[in-house]
């Protein structure tokens, strides 16, 4: 009787535990161990990546391009619109009858959806997940983790100018 037999180890067990490294096919048990281990690793990595994407939304702060939107009188008081300025979408709102506008990067700070102006509520709304922002870009509700980044806007000689030269 061999020493392994004396310890209760069947000689066939060591052959079944082989792997491709020693020329024998992988056992079912070893394959299932690898599959279960891979599943456990993936189940920890995927939620971590989703949490990272949720907390780190796209943020554009480059304001190299400028845009002349035309006369402020062409934008009725209490309205807003999204316009492209270079590679950035910008939401511009004229809150009242005075000749002033506010502008923000139009990408929601939650997951980057383009926000819109809600005339009835007088708020900036994200149509994707319901984030709500006030006229200062502050988060009023919904899942957005931070305020909308401001975008340079001014009224010069009666014209709305976006961006900074």
What is the structure's pLDDT at 14?
47
Domain that holds residue 47: 3-55
What is the structure's pLDDT at 16?
47
Domain CATH code at residue 128: 2.102.10.10
28 pLDDT higher than 60: yes
Distances (CA, A) of 84 to 17, 20, 90, 106, 121: 63, 58, 6, 9, 24
Number of domains in the chain: 2
SS3 assignment, position 35: helix
| Same-domain check for residues 32 and 73 | no
117, two tokens:
């102006």
| Same-domain check for residues 78 and 139 | yes
Please tell me the pTM assigned to this model.
Answer: 0.61
| Same-domain check for residues 26 and 50 | yes
Instruction: Give the model confidence (pLDDT) of 44-103 as tens digits.
Output: 888 887 777 777 655 544 545 788 889 998 999 999 999 998 888 999 999 888 888 999
60 in a structural domain: no
Handedness of CA 161, 85, 127, 55 (dihedral sign): negative
DSSP state of 21: G
| Same-domain check for residues 71 and 49 | no
């Amino acid at each position: 009787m061999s020493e392994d037999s004396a310890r209760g180890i069947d000689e066939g067990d060591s052959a079944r535990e082989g792997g491709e490294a020693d020329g024998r096919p992988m056992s079912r048990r070893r394959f299932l161990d690898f599959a279960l281990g891979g599943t456990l690793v993936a189940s920890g990595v995927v939620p971590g990546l989703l949490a990272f994407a949720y907390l780190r939304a796209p943020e554009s702060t480059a304001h190299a391009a400028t845009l002349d939107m035309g006369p402020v009188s062409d934008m009725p008081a209490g309205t807003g619109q999204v316009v492209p300025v270079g590679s950035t979408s910008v939401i511009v709102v004229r809150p009242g009858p005075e000749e002033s506008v506010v502008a923000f990067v139009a990408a929601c700070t939650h997951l980057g959806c383009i926000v819109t102006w809600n005339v009835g509520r007088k708020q900036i709304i994200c149509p994707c997940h319901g984030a709500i922002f006030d006229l200062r870009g502050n988060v009023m509700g919904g899942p957005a983790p931070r305020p909308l980044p401001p975008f340079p806007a001014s009224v010069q000689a009666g014209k709305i100018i976006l961006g900074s030269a």
